[in-house]
Amino acid sequence: MKKLRSLLYDVFVVIGISLLVSKLVSRVFGLKEVLMADTRLLIGYELAIVLVVSLGVCWAKSPARSSKAPQESTITELRSKLGQAAVVLRSRPASGPIEGHVSCLGRVTWQLPGEKRPVDAEGKPLDPLATLFVPDLPGVPEALRKVALITIFAPEDAWASAPDEEPQLGCVIRTYAELEGLVPCNYVSESLQTCILTPEAVENDMPKWPDCGGSDEMWDTIRRLEKKHKLDYHENICNAVYENIRKEDFPASFSSPAGRHAVFETHKIGGHPTYAQGSPEMPEDYPFVMQLNYDSDAGLEIGDCGSYYFYYNAEENAWRVYSDCY
């Protein structure tokens, strides 16, 4: 309806200006008698006036000319205020044995001497979900600054557990302050393909929506700018950060504009969480530190394009885990 009203408004503007210009030009150049004597010439003259006026209106309304066009400085300022440093973990299938200090999915490769593969309450071995080496990574959250290695074991249906009843969703997460003294192990998932995780720094990881980070005042500012400048926060500010990183292989049912935001980033340490269903209630002393997402290469399915979110209390060396999906 708004587009129709805008179109009708433009039509009336063009007609009105064209009539005014036509009369002024014909009077100034004394064309009235000449035009009235030849109908074809009159019609051509009027059409030429309408064409010129239409082009002028389109030019005046173009983003390049509009005074309401968003300035690059505005977008840069929003990114600097909302953005957080993060480490994106690019995933690719492993082509051979995992050796050395390599982050990966579907396998746990280091532990302390004497440690065993953890089991659930029924004695069933937990699945080795990930090995994450933290030292020397840029953008690591403050809570993880003294952590060198994280290993994660998870039950197959961890995503379906109730976080209120099971704060870690049945996962066993081991943290190591240093790598010295650790020994190699080789716990391999039977359900996941081993994938190497390659770190890549992101300077301005942007929150997906208010539940994912940023103050209410900041989001009020964004809404005003979107209305004033016809700005699209996701396309102009948020998603552009991950243009060359986002996953393109999520299911066809997520090909809508809203769905494209579902898994626009890969696994990451730090930055903002990208909740699908809204933020959970977490204690303040458990800040968000990382997330693992749906991954077709690894065969990691967490509901429908879902994610695991991890929160860490450094003082107590304690974890909480949350998951959601679309």
Rounded to 5 degrees, φ, ψ at 187 are: -90, 115
Half-sphere exposure of 67 (CA within 13 A, CB side): 0
pLDDT in tens, 84-129: 888 989 899 998 888 899 999 999 999 999 999 999 989 999 999 9
148: its two tokens: 């060198």
8 A C-beta contact, residue 148 and residue 180:
no
Are 254 and 296 in contact by the 8 Å Cβ rule? The answer is no
Token pair, residue 141, equals 């959250």
Question: What's the distance, CA 235 to chain centroid?
Answer: 10
> HSE on the CB side for 53, CA within 13 Å?
19
Residue of 210, 207, 215, 202 lying closest to 274 (CA atoms): 207
* Predicted confidence (pLDDT) at residue 67 exceeds the cutoff of 60: no
0.85 exceeded by the pTM?
no
Does the pLDDT of residue 240 top 60, yes or no? no
- Domains observed in the chain: 2-61 (no CATH), 75-324 (2.30.320.10)
Q: What is the DSSP string of 197-225?
A: EEEEEEEEEPPSSGGGSS-HHHHHHHHHH
Structure tokens at 155: 């039950």
For residue 80, give both structure tokens.
């600097």
Q: pLDDT, tens digit, for every residue of 259-296?
A: 443 334 579 999 888 888 888 889 999 999 999 988 88
> Higher model confidence: residue 19 or residue 318?
318
